[in-house]
Each structure stands twice: as C-alpha cells, then as structure tokens.
Amino acid sequence: MSTKVGEPLLPENATEVHLCYNKWLSINNGAHIRRVSNKETKEIACALKLNTTLLTIHLCHCQIGYEDAREVADALKVNTTLQKIGLGSNQIGVVGTKEIAEALKVNITLQEISLCDNQIGYEGARGIAEALKANSTLQEISLGDNQIGYEGAREIAEALKVNSTLQKISLYDNQIGCEGAREIAEALKANSTLREIFLGPNQFGYGGAREIAEALKANSTLQKIDLNNCEIGDEGAREVAKALKVNSTLQMIHLYGNGIKVVGAKEIAEALKVNSTLQSIVLDCNEIGAAGAKEIADALTVNSALKKIFLEDNEIGNEGAKEIAESLKVNTTLQTIDLNCNEIGNIGAKEIAEVLRVNSALQEIYLVGNQIGNKGAREVAEALKVNTTLQALNLDDNQIRKEGIEEFVTVINDESSIESTYHSNHTLFELSVVSFGSDGEADARHVENLHEILSAALDLNLDKTQKEAARCKILTNHFLHEDDERTGQLFSEIEFNALPDALAWALRGDLGLTVGFYALREFPSLVEVNQVGRKPEITDL
C-alpha cells in the first residue's frame, strides 16, 4: 500500500518499508511503499536511530549521495533491530561507502545489505573488506556493478578468508578479470561459510575459470555459483567439468552466455554422468547445437540428481529436441527443462509430446520462441490428456493460431460430455500460448476469447487435487444451468437408490449449494422418473 502525504516516512510499527525516488514498486506482502526525495533522506536516517520495529528498508534509486550515506551510517551505528537494508542504484561513491563500512564494524543486527551500482570502486571495496573482517552478523552483501576491478576483488578476497558469517556475496559486473578471479578462488579454498557467490559477467575467460574450478575442487560448503557471461569457452567448460566430477556440495551452477560449443557441452555432460549433488544447471545462450544436445541427453539418461536444466537459445533444432526427448523417457528426476528459442518445429514438438505420455517427473516445460505450429500443438495437447504430473507449459511466441489454442482449451476442459470432462487434464495450472501473428480482426477477437476460456479452465485446476478439479469442472459445465431444466434432467438419469449419494457428491464444496438448489427445484420430477437409468462413473470422485 502507499503512504499518504503527511504520514511519517517510517510508519509506526511497520516492519518493512520500501522507499523509492520517482518510481513505484509493486510489493505483494503488504509492505509500506512511498516515493521519497533525496531531501528526505536525513529524516529517514533520524527515524532509523529511534525506530525499534523496522526489520527491512529499501532505499533504491533515492539519489543518495555521500552526505546522505553518512546520515544512514550514523543510524546503523545505533539501530539494533534492522536486519536488511537496500541501498542499490544510488550515488554513494567511495566516501559514502567508507561511512557505511565504519557502521558495519559496530552494527550487531544487520544481516543483509545491498550496495550495487554505487560507483564505490577499489577504495570503497577496501573499506567494505575491512568491515567484513570485523563484522560478525552480516550474512549477505551485494556489491555488483561497482567497478571494483582486480584490486577491489583482492581486498574482498582477503576479507573472505577470515570472515566466518557471510553466506552470500554478489560481485557481478565488476571488471575483476583473470587476476581478480584468482584472488576470489584462493578465498574460496579457505572460506567455509559462503553458500552463494555471483561472479558473472566479469569476462575473466579460461584462465579465471581454471582458477575458480580449482577452488571448487577444494571448497566443501559452496552451494551456488554464477559464472554467467564470463567468456570461459570450451576450455573453461572443461575445467569446470573437472571440478563438478569431484565437488560434492554444489547444487546450482550458472554458465549462461559463455560461448560453450559441442566440445564444452561434452565435457559438462561427462561430469553430469558422475556428479550426484548438482540439482540445477544453466547453459542458456551458448552454442551447443544438436550435437551438444545429444551429449547432454546421454548424461540425462544416467544422471539421477539434476532437477532443473536450462538450454535456451542453443540452436538444438528438431534433431536436438529428439535427443533430449529420448533421454527424458527414461529420466525419472528432472522436473524443469527450458528449451526456449531453439528452432524447434512440429517434428520436435511431436517428440516432446511422446515424452509427456510416459514421463511422470516433469513439472515444467518451456518452449517459448520456437517454430511450433498448430500440428505440433495438437500433438502436445493430445499428450496432455494422459499426462498427470506436468504443472506448467509455456508455448508463447510460436506459430500456434486459433486451431491450436482450441486444442488446448478442449484438453483442459472438454465440455462435450460428463465423461469427456472427467477425462480432461486436471493437473496443469499454467499454460501460455500467446503468439504474435497476422490474424485477421475477427480471428484476433476469437483468439482473445479462447485465451479467456483457457485461463478460466486453468483456474479450475489451481490449488486442487485431480479429483477436486474434475468434480469442479463437471459441476460447472453440466450442473449449473439456471435457465433450463438440465440439472434436473441429469439427476433423473441416475438410479433412484443412488440419488442420495449423487446429491451428497454434488453438494460438497463451494459450488454445492448452488447445484443443490437447481437439483432440488426439479426434485418432484426426479422422484417420478428416476426408477430406471444409469449410474455415471463420476460417483467415484
């Protein structure tokens, strides 16, 4: 919610406040939100000195300069309740960062701080490093996009060798280079508390990748590492793969945009065959192609630890999709796969559809920006009739038009008969099929209507068991007809001795009273005609 003009910047008893200059932030947890000018920063700092309830404050994009940073720092020296502070994208600079660093030396409650995009440079990084040597409560710090360079990385690395509480650090986009990567690597060999580190994009190339990989062989606590856009290439991928073969704690690795081709993909794949702890790997925006996809697919047939794999924009095509699909027919642990922007057409879609018929582990599939048309959509939709585990499917920006969307509408909620509704898909609750084409005005309106129908059908699956979703659809499609006698007619087809059970089944839940009203309104005729008839299968629900 927003704070009205005239109300205090730090509302009484608030535990979380988001203040932002010239921007509105959307917060879903009921936090207080307000725009703030740089003139009000001193007032905020004064309030923080006295406040005893606030746990989190975000001051991003507030045009905070070094003088304002000094006021905030003074508040942090005396405040004993604040746990998180966000100061990203301001103008704190070197001088302001040093003030914040001095405060961190004495503060005993702050657990998280963000100083990203503040032009702190090497000198500011050195100040923060000195603070990290003394501070024993901070668990997370973000220093991304600050041009700290090799020298700043060296200072931070020295601090990480002695700090025993920090669990997460972000050093993204800091121009640390190969030498900076070497310093960080040496710190990772000694540090035993860090759980997550973000190092991309820093373009340290093969040399830096080799140093980091050597550290991963020795480190036994790190769980997540981000090496996105570091230009490591196939040689760097080989070094990382060697580390993955022996490392037993890393759970997530990001290798996005590193120029990895077939050779590098093969090295990573060989590591995945023996690694038993990695749960997520990001290989988006590389150049592995169909041949590299085959290597990854071979690994997926034997790997039993990986839960998520991201292969977006790798030009794997239909051939690569087929290789991945074949592996997923036997893989029983992968839950999420991203194949966005991979030139996959109807042929590849058919292969993926075959997977959906037999795989019972996949929960999310992403196929955005491919070349799948109505024919491929039909194959996937048919597979969804038997699949009971997939929860999310994204087919946006393909070549799927109204006929293809209609296939999905039918498979999610087939209204043609009670039996057809019963056999619809009741487990998928996220499905997007937005395509950008040249549909005529009439078709565009029809497609818009189809999306609304599809969204409503998916809502009936959300937060329900399969049986609950089926029951809800059957009642909605076939029993809620206020303007005719259909509800009564449907009940009249049920054997008389089964009628109490049928009514009890229909009367459960949110829709029950409405259904019951329509049914009982027709009850006299039901008593007269319900001497013979059939008992539908839906009573099993």
Q: What's phi and psi for 75, nearest 5 deg?
A: -65, -40
On whether the CB atoms of residues 125 and 143 are closer than 8 A, the answer is: yes
Please name every residue paired with 380 in a beta bridge, in sequence order, or none if there are none: none
| Secondary-structure class of domain 344-465 per CATH | alpha beta
Is the previous residue joined to 201 through a cis bond, with omega within 30 degrees of 0? Answer: yes
User: Backbone dihedral region of 115: left (phi > 0), alpha (psi from -120 to 50 degrees) or beta?
Assistant: alpha
pLDDT at residue 528 tops 50: no
On whether the CB atoms of residues 378 and 352 are closer than 8 A, the answer is: no
Over the stretch 287-329, which tens digit does the pLDDT of each residue have?
999 999 999 999 999 999 999 999 999 999 999 999 999 999 9
On whether the CB atoms of residues 343 and 369 are closer than 8 A, the answer is: no
Over the stretch 423-457, which tens digit does the pLDDT of each residue have?
999 999 999 999 876 555 557 788 888 899 899 99
For residue 459, name the pLDDT band (cuts at 50, 70, 90).
Answer: very high
H helix or E strand, kind and range, residue 69: helix 66-78
Over the stretch 92-113, which tens digit does the pLDDT of each residue have?
999 999 999 999 999 999 999 9
Please name every residue paired with 373 in a beta bridge, in sequence order, or none if there are none: 399
Domain with CATH 3.80.10.10 in the chain: 344-465
Per-residue confidence (pLDDT) for residue 480, from 0 to 100 = 67
